[in-house]
Amino acid sequence: MNKVTVIGVAGGTASGKTTIVNELRKNFENDIAVLCHDFYYKSHKNLLFEERSKLNYDHPNAFDTDIMIDHLKELIAGREIKRPVYDYTIHDRSSEEVIVQPKKVIVVDGILILENKDLRDLMDIKIFVETDDDERLIRRIRRDAIERGRSLESILDQYESTVKPMHDQFVEPSKKYADIIIPRGGENKIAVEMLLENIKKRIG
């Protein structure tokens, strides 16, 4: 397999990472595979739903990052993987697996992907999507309420107790490792176009 280009897309919760990833999907179609860090939340089947709902999902220890790193290495080597599936409605990993084929472009997406040195060392381009805190909170409320069926109270409780503190402690400091910082996320059309052109030159 030809040289693989690994792109990391990091940033705070609801910063616009998915918009950037979707732009990459649209432009590279069959040449792209996406690995979200969220797929690799640890399984907690030994805990009750109420206990799982109270866990800190914004700390680096919430993820099986070592497995993600192994999977990324496999894809870079040209071998398919079976990645886990996470079910937000039950706060636990599903029994399903999804086969991911190796591609020319692999996108790694997540709030904490630049925090882990072993993971970021596998990336050719490291991106941090930067969006105003208030805007991110509004987007998160809309997403979690509509897509994940959560109450406003539970969303705000989680934001105050873990999301914001973990962002300040781990996510924001990881910005220093980024090669490219994209203010306003997907709304920044010029930055997105420059990124796409850079990737096209790399993969030929």
Taking every pair of C-alpha atoms in the chain, what is the biggest distance, in angstroms? 50
Nearest to 13 by CA among 190, 165, 150: 165
Tokens of 24: 């990459």
Exposure string (b/e) for 5-16, b if CB count within 10 Å is 16 or more? bbbbbbbbbbbb
* Token code pair at residue 169: 């402690």
Concatenated DSSP letters for 103-140?
Answer: -SEEEEE-TTTTT-HHHHTT-SEEEEEE--HHHHHHHH
What domains can be seen in the chain, in order of their start residue?
5-203 (3.40.50.300)
Question: Are 192 and 199 within 8 A, CB to CB?
Answer: no
From first to last of its 204 residues, what are the pLDDT tens digits of the chain? 468 999 999 999 889 899 999 999 999 988 999 999 999 999 998 999 889 988 899 999 999 999 999 999 999 999 999 999 999 888 889 989 999 999 999 999 999 999 999 999 999 999 999 988 898 999 989 988 888 788 899 889 989 999 999 999 999 999 999 999 999 877 899 999 999 998 988 887
pTM over 0.85: yes
